[in-house]
Amino acid sequence: MSDLTRLTAAELAEKIHTGEVTAAEVTQAHLDRIAAVDGDVHAFLHVDAEGALETARAVDADLAAGRAPVSPLAGVPLALKDVLTTRGVPTTCGSKTLEGWLPPYDATVTRRLREAGVPVLGKTNMDEFAMGSSTENSAYGPTHNPWDLDRIPGGSGGGSSASLAAYEAPLAIGTDTGGSIRQPAAVTATVGVKPTYGGVSRYGLVAFSSSLDQAGPCGRTVLDAALLHEVIAGHDPMDATSIDAPVPALADAAREGARGDLNGVKVGVVRELSGDGYQGGVLRSFDAAVAQLKELGAEVVEVSCPHFGYALSAYYLIAPSECSSNLARFDAMRYGLRVADDGSHSAEEVMSLTREEGFGAEVKRRVMLGTYALSSGYYDAYYGSAQKVRTLITRDFAAAFEQVDVLVSPTTPVTPFKLGEKVDDPLAMYLNDICSIPANLAGNAAMSVPSGLSDEDGLPVGLQIMAPALADDRLYRVGAAYEAARGPVLDKLGELEAAK
Report the predicted TM-score, pTM, of the whole model to 2 decimal places: 0.96
Please indicate whether residue 180 is annotated as part of the active site: yes
Q: How do strand 215-219 and strand 171-175 relate by DSSP bridges?
A: antiparallel
3-class SS letters over 329-391:
HCCCCCCCCCCCCCCCCCHHHHHHHHHHHHCCHHHHHHHHHHHHHHCCCCCHHHHHHHHHHHH
**Integer Cα distance of 379 and 357 in angstroms:** 29
Please indicate whether residue 163 is annotated as part of the active site: no
Q: Does the N-terminal peptide bond of residue 161 adopt cis geometry, omega within 30 degrees of 0?
A: no
Catalytic one among 134, 138, 156, 242? 156
Q: What is the pLDDT of residues 219-246, one digit of tens each?
A: 999 999 999 999 999 999 999 999 999 9
Q: Is the pLDDT of residue 137 over 90?
A: yes
Catalytic one among 95, 134, 160, 180? 180
Q: What is the pLDDT of residues 105-125, one digit of tens each?
A: 999 999 999 999 999 999 999
- CATH number of the domain located at residue range(s) 3-308+391-499 in this protein: 3.90.1300.10
With contact defined as beta carbons under 8 Å apart, do 116 and 80 qualify?
no
pLDDT for 8 equals: 98
Q: How far is residue 325 CA from its own chain's centroid? A: 23
Mean pLDDT over all residues of the chain?
Answer: 95
pLDDT for 27 equals: 98
Lowest-confidence range among 157-166, 248-257, 369-378, 478-487?
369-378
pLDDT for 498 equals: 52
Q: What is the pLDDT of residues 439-451, one digit of tens each?
A: 999 999 999 999 9
Instruction: Please provide the DSSP assignment of 217-279 as one string.
Output: EEESSHHHHHHHHHHHBS--TT-TT---SPPP-HHHHHHHHTT---TT-EEEEETTSSSTTS-
Catalytic one among 15, 71, 81, 163? 81
Please indicate whether residue 388 is annotated as part of the active site: no
Mean pLDDT to the nearest integer, 380-401: 97
With contact defined as beta carbons under 8 Å apart, do 429 and 409 qualify?
no
Q: How do strand 215-219 and strand 299-303 relate by DSSP bridges?
A: unpaired
**Integer Cα distance of 324 and 310 in angstroms:** 22
Percentage of the chain beyond pLDDT 90 is: 90
| Domain edges within the chain | 3-308+391-499
Q: Is the pLDDT of residue 494 over 70?
A: no
Model confidence band, residue 495 (pLDDT cutoffs 50, 70, 90): low
